[in-house]
Structure 1
Amino acid sequence: MTPAALRIAVVGGGIGGLAAALSIARAGHHVTLLERAAQFGEIGAGLQLAPNASQALEELGVLDAVQRTAVAPPRLVMMDALSGEQVTSLDLRSAAYTERFTHPYLVTHRTDLHTALLTACQAHPDITLRTGHTVTHAEQDESAVHLHFAGTTPALTADAVVAADGLHSRLRQALVGEEEPVCSRYVAFRGALPADRMTGRMSQHAASDAVMVWAGPRMHLVQYPVRRGELYNQVAVFESDHYTPDSDDWGTEAELEERFAGTCRTVREALPLVARDRRWPLYDRLPIDNWIHGRIALLGDAAHPMLQYLAQGACQALEDAVALGQSFGRFTDPADAFAAYADQRRERAARIQTNARRFGEICHLEGMGATLRNQLFASRASDDFNDVSWVWTPAPATAPTP
């Protein structure tokens, strides 16, 4: 029996919110997507989409659109940022990859992914998009949720609400409590530039289309092409020695230069071309069990913000969205749909959150620790995906309640 159509509100118009709206609407429900900005948009630069994300995009019906601008890198390569020598690599075009994973590994610009999802939402007849709506609080009873907004905007009533409003989610704060995100003391400078600006040794890496990770003591540099190879994405990350919780004067350009001063020639050549117009402090949170609060559910960074070291932040939001849509396709009661969604996603997202922290520690080892890491990683074959297969393979849908 097809479930009766519900009225679902999604708060947050980023990648997770758009994907959730699309997934729920494709399951047969009416969705109102609320974004506080005056227009939809996405900031940032490149984004890695492992096969679990590509699978989610296919299930959302937008994989083809994303692939029109994305790049499918042939390899993931870890280099030693000090010596310039290769540590290890993964061959994404090997028979072992295609046998183990049914979907491609892609790299794309965040705005390109956001545009593909937004275009699909705009085309769906059961999705209403509203900008300029800042949620101030929510009230719920046994039958509905009432969302209230800043200014004179009238309240909105829905059968259920999905909070996809990011790391600093207002709805999460109201439901879980006023707990602050955890600052890792690391900061990122990132951006994409025209690929033809990459010269010398850098141009060779850019031409290879590989994802390059230059790992060093308490810092790293990530590079890969986006937008059909027309742009080259660079992200420089480092730990600040001057972090204080009550100040924003840390993780500066001067620290960036100082931290990368001892790196190899190729990294030093790339550093001046890393975007400096904005610094991005890196935060996460500890996993929580309470994703569901009556008729309100958390999704994406509102539920499980994670550090970027496994490149899974957006990927996990996409998995959330697909699982949520599947649940709303099987259950007539929002409480049952939310319970099935959380049961499917909670443990896996928590595991990736905690392992992202651990991989960051491995990537940023110093001295003997880095030497041992390099020796261990060098011993693995380029078609050995045993260490990452669990990350790149989404959990199956929870069986329906009899």
Structure 2
Amino acid sequence: MSSTDKIVVIGGGIGGMATALAARLSGREVTLLEQASVFTEVGAGLQMAPNATRVLRGLGVLDEVVEAGVRPDHLVFHNAVDGRELTRVRLDAAYEEHFGGPYVVAHRSDLLDILVRAAAAAGVDLRTGCRVEDIVQHPGSVTVRTADGTEFTGGAAVAADGLHSRTRAQFSDDRPIQSGYVAYRGTVPIEEVRGGGNLRDVLVWMGPKLHLVQYPLRSGALYNQVAVFRSPGFDRGAENWGGPQELEQVFAAACEPVRRALPGLGRERWWPMADREPLGCWTKDRLALLGDAAHPMLQYLAQGACQALEDAAALAGALDRHPVGSWPTALEEYAAVRAPLTARVQSTARVWGEMWHVEGVAALLRDEVFRSRATDDLGPAEWLWGRQAA
């Protein structure tokens, strides 16, 4: 196979690794370049709805992911101030049959490790310590040059280099947009969790300018917790904002079960939450964007990694439908399929986050809408989790 029949994937996170594996399973030669010295993921918990687990099944790794993670019993929403349950989604056999896949929560590093092993076993050429400095397109190929001068030539290159993608600069001069919200994360041994309900549920606590999400990881051995709040410092225009003192200040308004989670959160690092506006063009001839490089989104729908996995499947499907070497046509088809849906996910994530964090009368109305939902009503999620969305 000539070099122009190969694909070069830039970025060894979940989206890039899934893309490399999917393209290899589609019969392409694949080289993946990761700038770090090892393949690793930052953060802990990851929720994967059926739109993602269907992709993992197609990649042949779902059973291993389920074994490493947890299949929760319910997705439960609460008011974070008074503690009342508002609604729940049963994640049972009927749910799985309806959507064609289970709901799974897993440690990000566990999912990446599984994908790395599968990609290596499939024959993907995995390279670490490769910081990409330049991408040059030629009439019949593309060359990716790394910082040490090494060049990798292929028929196409796909950049899955994240929110701060350097490759995206070839498509747009936009920058990440800070939401003013910041996330604190932490995991604790499951036996140290006090009080609360079913520890196999995904719990969401929504409050004024704050929320908390909790769920088990690693076959139920760990409990993952993520606290998010609107930074008062950000609103004042402070240079440094979102620090631990703000965490305690904002969450003082929450109920006792929510406040009880705060000691289990790390204080050394916090994550400002940012996204970008939807991008109209993801491809240029033999170069394409994927995952957060193409459509970074706020976390409220728990869809960042899920959408990257769907990207990988869509790209592989486009490759299957076109002969080897028809890279520009396949990449254009991939983007045409994925861009409209991911733009909707990006915009809906913003609205969903605003709804979680409303105050006063708006919060009363939100709670009433949630409480009035029939427990078996899955219709509102059909566009996102349903099989026709893939």
Class of the TM-score when normalised by the shorter of the 2 chains: over 0.9
Shift of 1:17: 0.2
Task: Supply the distance in 2 between the matched residues of 1:340 and 1:13 (Cα, whole angstroms).
Answer: 23
Change (3 A) 1:246 1:82: closer
Q: Which residue of 129, 138, 144 maps to 2:141?
A: 144
Q: 1-side partners of 2:295 and 2:201: how far apart?
A: 29
Counterparts in 2 of 1:98 and 1:248: CA distance versus 1, 3 Å: same
Structure 1 residue corresponding to 2:384, chosen from 391, 395, 399: 391
1:219-298 alignment to 2 at 5 Å?
A: 219-243=210-234, 249-298=240-289
Residue 78 of structure 2 aligns to a residue whose secondary structure is: strand
User: For residue 78 of structure 2, what is the aligned residue in structure 1?
Assistant: 79
1:178-219 CA deviation, whole Å, 9 max, x = no partner? 3211110100001222111111x24x342xx00000000011
Map of 1:306 onto structure 2: 297
Structure 1 residues 339 and 249 mapped into 2: Cα distance closer, same or farther (>3 Å)?
Answer: same
Q: Which amino acid letter does the alignment assign opposite residue 270 of structure 2?
A: R
Report whether the alignment pairs 1:366 with 2:359. Answer: yes
Q: Offset at 1:148? A: 1.5
- Match of 2:369? 376
Instruction: Show the counterpart of 1:400.
Output: none
Residue 220 of structure 1 deviates from its aligned partner by: 0.1
Report what 1:107 is aligned to.
Answer: 105
Amino acid at match of 1:15: I
**Matched-pair contact (CA < 8 Å) for 1:79–1:213:** yes
Q: Any gaps of 5 or more consecutive residues in structure 1?
A: 398-402
Within 5 Å, which residues of 2 pair with 1:38-77?
38-77=37-76
- Which sections of structure 2, spanning at least 5 residues, go unmatched? none
1:137 aligned counterpart, secondary structure: strand
1:140-219 to structure 2, matched below 5 A, reads: 140-150=137-147, 152-173=148-169, 175-199=170-194, 201-202=195-196, 204-206=197-199, 209-219=200-210
Cα distance in 1 for residues equivalent to 2:198 and 2:228:
19
Q: Give 1:340 shift.
A: 1.3
CA distance in 2, matches of 1:195, 1:274: 14
State the 4+ residue runs in structure 1 displaced beyond 4 angstroms.
Answer: 244-248, 394-397
Q: Determine the C-alpha separation between the residues in 2 that align with 1:331 and 1:88.
A: 45
Q: 2: distance between equivalents of 1:352 and 1:232?
A: 27
Identity %: 48
Indicate the SS of the match to 1:148.
strand
Contact 1:50 1:105 in 2 (8 A): yes
Instruction: After superposing the two structures, state which structure 1 stretch, 35-44 or 86-95, moved more.
Output: 86-95
Matched residue type, 1:55? R
| CA displacement at 1:246 relative to structure 2 | 8.6
Amino acid at match of 1:362: M
Gap change, CA 1:30 and 1:246, over 3 Å in 2: farther
Give secondary structure in 1 for the equivalent of 2:111: helix
Q: CA deviation at 1:395?
A: 4.4
User: For the Cα contact (< 8 Å) 1:186–1:281, is it kept in 2?
Assistant: yes
Task: State whether residues 188 and 280 of structure 1, in contact with CA within 8 Å, keep that contact through their aligned partners in structure 2.
Answer: yes
CA RMSD of aligned residues (A): 1.6
Q: Which amino acid letter does the alignment assign opposite residue 70 of structure 1? A: G
Q: Distance in 2 between matches of 1:245 and 1:320?
A: 38
C-alpha contact 2:4 2:156 (8 A) present in aligned 1:
no
Question: What is the TM-score of this pair, normalised by structure 1?
Answer: 0.93
Matching residue's letter, 2:178: C
